[in-house]
Chain A
């Protein structure tokens, strides 16, 4: 086990499954990736691809049973989080690695006022007294753009709109100052103009505080502006990983290509007779076929794709893909 200088989080060969009445659901199958200091990566995939389960299991947030981490390691600053007990994990959660969910109602306590929640977080992590903590809370809330802060401190979470609640969560992040922020679809439920506000806020926060970030989403539009590296997941595995420009302009995996082709553009005139859709249906996590999980739906499928599962390998500088085919030529990659 080597620790690279500058690597904040390294996940190796993570495997997570769930025991259900119908059988074993293989949610995450051999996922490995790294997050460097100060880096923002995006994990993109459709529902059921395992992106959320992967991140939640790093923080020990997957209930076991029915979940089970069947293998792998997650080194955070050199320490394997997967081997830790609940008590040992507690100091990492919040202070080191913070989690923002799609609906902040689940992370904000509905019966406590804003003031109490934010000041408590500050008191706990910055060890200030109550008055100073309150002043700090005001500055953080102002920074995230909550209007009329003084008055709104005594409001409860349900009195805020979705966008405001996400801002409050970000304010709590400022108080916690984690080294790694994991955001699971944080703007999916928000209106497009509010989403834009939150994204600008997060970019600002990154600039000022330099934290690393994992942004989980299904929206390839949102991350084009936000992430430095993008990981694309399908059927519990990583199918492509590249820097943001490489991923969009020099795509190497058929699934990513198909996803991009299925997206209409707001800034282009319509130039296709039909949107490219992906044939077939999403993979069944109960019964994985032999070979590449995307084979039934792939436009570039070759014989070998049905019998052996491709491994994630370097196909260009800083660009990984799990595919037997060179999508530019249609021939097998050697």
Chain B
């Protein structure tokens, strides 16, 4: 066959616009978003604080109690002051940051996993499967979160052992918290994923895959799911922020991670009685929570704009 005569359009390289992959375009759009870039830098700084900061203080030091210097306000030896039993707050916020971030990321992971699973199956199959899964989702939404938290805390307490990863020991209560937050916040993502599936499954590339004979699970996870990445990433990012807040108030209720492991949340709990007398007890952990959540939200905003499928082709 004479290619030139019959199909003369040439290859994509002849098109003027340089081929940009979808992630490159998204990154370009993200960079234009000033708040998002600011949030990303702040987040980077906070992560460095928590993880690189551990190089300066050992965990033992963070948990070292010295009742002689209890409740001292910020000074040169203890830049963030000391807590009611003499532990250095700076070191505790560093390690607390690690835990809070780990809890945030892991809880978000649980949330995304369950949300995707429920949403995709519900959205793709419809019918009674959808009905049952949606009723379950609605049940989770309708029950007040505090109630779920209390019930799950009771259920899981003392049932989960401490785990050791990479040489550091995490108390079982950390895993409990992760499960509690994750299992009480997947619902909105499930609905989002379901809505995406409902609309995407009518798209012609899905019909094309069906006419090819592609097995259903490959269609769900190989074809449709990658096209729902944008809202999932945004939801996951914001999920980390809400998990960090969630941890703080669960710990504030005394149901969260138990001391001596420090988290920003249980540090706030410990500050409750000293709100006016020793404000440094809550200003530092509270401020760090605030900054982290704020920066995650900025990044989430930027991601949402950058990944907006409507403007995919600039």
Q: Specify whether A and B are partners.
A: yes
Could you list which residues of chain A lie within 8 angstroms of chain B, going by C-beta atoms? 21-22, 274, 277-281, 284, 286-287
Contacts of B10 in A (CB 8 A): 280-281
Q: Which of A21, A274, A280, A287 contacts B8 (CB 8 A)?
A: A280
Interface residues of B in 273-314 (CB under 8 A from A): 314
The stretch of B12-20, B62-70, B109-117, B136-144 in contact with A is: B12-20
B9 contacts A by Cβ under 8 Å: yes
Q: B9 contacts which of A21, A274, A281, A284 (Cβ < 8 Å)? A: A281
Question: Given A280-B8, A280-B9, A281-B9, are A287 and B16 also a contact pair (CB < 8 Å)?
Answer: yes
Contact with A along B1-33 (1 / 0, CB 8 A): 000111011100011110000000000000000
B17 proximity list for chain A (CB < 8 A): 22, 286
11 contacts between A and B (CB under 8 A): A22-B17, A22-B314, A277-B6, A277-B8, A279-B5, A279-B8, A280-B9, A281-B10, A281-B14, A281-B15, A284-B16
Residues in A neighbouring B15, C-beta threshold 8 A: 281, 284
Please give me the residue from chain B that is nearest to A280 by CB atom: B8
Residues of chain A with a CB closer than 8 A to B8's CB: 277-280
**CB closest chain-B residue, reference A22:** B17
Contact B9 A286 (CB under 8 A): no
B interface, CB within 8 angstroms of A: 4-6, 8-10, 14-17, 314
List residues of chain B with CB within 8 A of the CB of A278.
8
**Which of chain B's residues has its CB closest to A274's CB?**
B6
> Which residues from A are CB-within-8-Å of B314?
21-22
Least CB distance, A108 to chain B, in whole angstroms: 25
Pick the most buried of B4, B16, B314: most chain A CB atoms within 10 A of its CB: B16
Report chain B residues within 8 Å CB of A22: 17, 314
Report how far A22 CA is from B313 CA in the complex, Å: 12
Bound state CA distance, A287 and B14, in angstroms? 13
The distance from the CB of B179 to the nearest CB of chain A, in whole angstroms, is 46
A277 to B8, CA, bound (A): 9
CB closest residue in chain B, given A278:
B8
* Closest 7 pairs between A and B when the two form their complex, measured CB to CB: A279-B8, A284-B16, A281-B9, A280-B8, A287-B16, A286-B16, A21-B314
> CA of A21 to CA of B16 in the docked complex: distance in angstroms?
14
Q: 15 new A-B pairs (CB below 8 Å) besides A280-B10, A281-B14, A286-B17?
A: A21-B314, A22-B17, A277-B6, A277-B8, A278-B8, A279-B4, A279-B5, A280-B8, A280-B9, A281-B9, A281-B10, A281-B15, A284-B16, A286-B16, A287-B16
In the complex, what distance in Å separates the CA atom of A274 from the CA atom of B4? Answer: 14
Q: How far is the CA of A21 from the CA of B17 in the complex (A)?
A: 12
B211 to chain A, nearest CB (A): 26
In the bound complex, how far is the Cα of B15 from the Cα of A294, in angstroms?
16
Q: Which residues of A lie under 8 Å from residue B16 when comparing CB positions?
A: 284, 286-287
Q: Write the nearest CB–CB distance from B28 to chain A, whole angstroms.
A: 9
Q: How far is the CB of B4 from chain A (nearest CB, A)?
A: 8
- A277 contact set on B, CB distance < 8 A: 6, 8
Complex CA–CA separation, A21 to B32 (angstroms): 12
**What's the Cα separation between A279 and B5 when bound, in Å?**
7
In the complex, the chain A residue whose C-beta lies closest to that of B7 is A277
Q: Which residues of B contact A280 (CB under 8 A)?
A: 8-10
> Given the complex of chains A and B, what is the CA–CA distance between A277 and B16 in angstroms?
22
**Residue numbers in A under 8 Å from B6 (CB-CB):** 274, 277
Nearest CB on B from A106, distance (A): 19
Alpha-carbon separation in the docked complex, A281 to B17 (Å): 14
**What's the Cα separation between A277 and B15 when bound, in Å?**
19
In the bound complex, residues from chain B placing their C-beta under 8 Å from that of A274 are 6
Which residue in chain B gives the minimum CB-CB distance to A285? Answer: B16
Docked CA distance A287–B8 (Å): 20
The minimal Cβ–Cβ distance linking A305 to chain B, given in whole angstroms, is 18
Closest residue of B by beta carbon distance from A281 = B9
Among residues of B, the one whose C-beta sits closest to the C-beta of A20 is: B314
A71 to chain B, nearest CB (A): 25
Which residues from B are CB-within-8-Å of A281? 9-10, 14-15
Q: Which residues of B contact A21 (CB under 8 A)?
A: 314
Closest Cβ of chain B to A289, distance in Å, is 11
CB distance from A246 to the nearest CB of B (A): 29
| Bound-complex Cα distance A287 to B16 (A) | 8
Nearest chain B CB to A270's CB is how many angstroms away?
18
B10 (CB) vs chain A CBs: closest residue? A281
Please report the C-alpha to C-alpha distance between residue A325 and residue B5 in the assembled complex, in whole angstroms: 22
